[in-house]
Amino acid sequence: MVDQQPHDTVSKQMDVETDIITLTRFILQEQQKLAPNATGELSLLLNSMQFAFKFIAHNIRRAELVNLIGVSGTANSTGDVQKKLDVIGDEIFINAMKSSNNVKVLVSEEQEDLIIFDGSGKYAVCTDPIDGSSNIDAGVSVGTIFGIYKLREGSEGSINDVLRRGTEMVAAGYTMYGASAHLMLTTGNGVNGFTLDTQLGEFILTQPSLKIPYEKAIYSVNEGNSYYWPDYVKKYIEDLKKPQEKLKGKPYSARYVGSMVADIHRTLLYGGVFSYPADTKSKNGKLRILYECFPMAMLLEQAGGKAINDKGERILEILPKGIHDKSGIWLGSTGEIEKYITYIPK
Ligand code: AHM
Ligand code: MG
């Protein structure tokens, strides 16, 4: 007699999930659910982007083998020495956005000026193609950060499409390349996390509707800069290192990778506070508003957290004046950010 077990019983016995949600499927479902009359251009753009993430992940995995690690000999727009992978990541991202035909304007950390593509793309994309590149040689996680604006009404593509508040971004996220590649995405309807299955070549939904814990006793900041911090920032961090009543006398834990994507990834999952404050010397932060602060702030807020500048102003409401403008930033669990706010002089 033929074995007539139902299919789902067989897959359960073999411990095989046969109905997985890939990023492509997720994007199409979201579009049908939230914007049934949309043209589908943003979905196509996100699909082109996921190709760039897979291609960059592939290059990072094979970097050691093909000797990509090291200095390329050129400098980027802010004068840093570029790594070979910075250059390759930038090229991969630019080519993917150009060939998608849905992008008109591109701002990259690695390009002095914005790029305007031919064609009738309706979106502007801001990216740090390889964030945290000082960590590459040590095999520590790096990532690609991105934020997307829809072009202004009637625009044919100009700097004014990106010199806008973060509240106007229609989607944002990052892909972190480590042991595996993790993509965190928001289109303004919560945060969803995907993990790249390298065998399938697909990003799989692994963290649906991610929420950041309300509080967690972890702080993430480069304390090597503390000499140049304003006194109230010094006082706040010193207080975190004192015995905490709530923690039965334990102080906060310090965790700092030095790759924003990795530090934010941990903060999203475990909670805590991440900061790169402006220093009293330059009066500027290090992290760039359009392609580091805004996308991460949008993600954090969509996950139920908060993102503010040193003065306590909402990051997403800053209006950048230049494409490489920087800001001091504090982001993480709502409870932890509110605690920092109590230290800001009135
Ligand atoms: P990058 O985009 O040139 O890699 O610089 C940004 C990185 C962030 O990933 C990270 O949060 C920060 O710089 C670390 O800076 P520092 O080494 O000063 O702590
Ligand atoms: Mg970078």
Residue 294, domain CATH: 3.40.190.80
Q: What is the pLDDT of residue 16?
A: 78
Q: Which of the ligands is closest to the CA of residue 287?
A: 1
Same structural domain, 226 and 200: no
pLDDT one digit per residue (tens) for the chain, 346 residues: 445 566 666 666 777 788 899 999 999 999 888 888 889 999 999 999 999 999 999 999 888 677 666 677 777 777 676 668 889 999 999 999 999 999 999 999 999 999 999 999 999 999 999 999 888 888 899 999 999 999 999 999 999 999 999 999 999 999 999 888 999 999 999 999 999 999 999 999 999 999 999 999 999 999 999 999 999 999 999 999 999 999 999 999 999 999 999 999 999 999 999 999 999 988 889 999 999 999 999 999 999 999 999 999 999 999 999 999 999 999 999 999 999 999 999 8
| Residue of minimum CA distance from atom 12 in ligand 1 | 258
Query: Is the residue at 146 inside a domain?
Result: yes
* Residue 116 and residue 69 in one domain: yes
- Does residue 125 sit within a domain? yes
Q: Hey, which of 60, 74, 128, 131 would you mutate to test ligand 1's pocket, going by the most ligand atoms within 8 Å of its Cβ?
A: 131
**Ligand with smallest separation from the Cα of 259:** 1
Domain identity same for 175 and 231:
no
Q: Could you tell me the pTM of the whole model? A: 0.93
DSSP H or E stretch at residue 24 = helix 23-34
Same domain for 162 and 83, yes or no, is: yes
Residues 41 and 96 in one domain: yes
Ligand 1 residue neighbourhood (C-beta within 6 Å): 80, 109, 128, 131-133, 222, 258-260, 276, 286
> Could you tell me if 189 and 230 lie in one domain?
no
Rounded Cα distance, 310 and 239, in Å: 17
**If we measure between CA atoms, which residue out of 194, 201, 179 comes closest to residue 61?**
179
Local structure of residue 289 (DSSP, 8 states): I
Residue 8 inside a domain? The answer is no
| 7 inside domain | no
Residue nearest to atom 6 of ligand 1 (CA): 132
Q: Considering the domain boundaries, does residue 5 fall inside one?
A: no
- Check residue 282 and give its pLDDT: 83
Q: How confident is the model at residue 15, as a pLDDT?
A: 75
Give the end of a domain, one of 207, 242, 276: 207
Q: Residues 170, 24: one domain?
A: yes
Q: What's the token pair of residue 250?
A: 């334990």
Is the domain of 275 the same as that of 242?
yes
Distances, alpha carbon 16 to alpha carbons 45, 70, 207, in Å:
31, 41, 18
Q: Quickly count: other Cβ atoms within 10 Å of residue 18's Cβ.
A: 10
Residues 28 and 161 both lie in one domain: yes
For ligand 1, atom 17: residue with the closest CA:
258
Q: Which domain holds residue 301?
A: 218-341
202-207 sheet: strands from edge to edge: 115-116, 103-108, 123-131, 142-150, 171-177, 181-186, 192-197, 202-207
Which ligand approaches the C-alpha of residue 329 most closely?
1
Q: Distance from the CA of 208 to the center of ligand 1, in angstroms?
A: 28
Of 148, 177, 207, the position where a domain reaches its end is 207
Residue 15 lies in a domain: no
Count the neighbouring beta carbons within 10 Å of the beta carbon of residue 254. 14
CATH number of the domain that residue 142 is part of: 3.30.540.10
Counted domains in the chain: 2
Q: Which residues contact 239 (CB under 8 A, 6 or more apart)?
A: 343
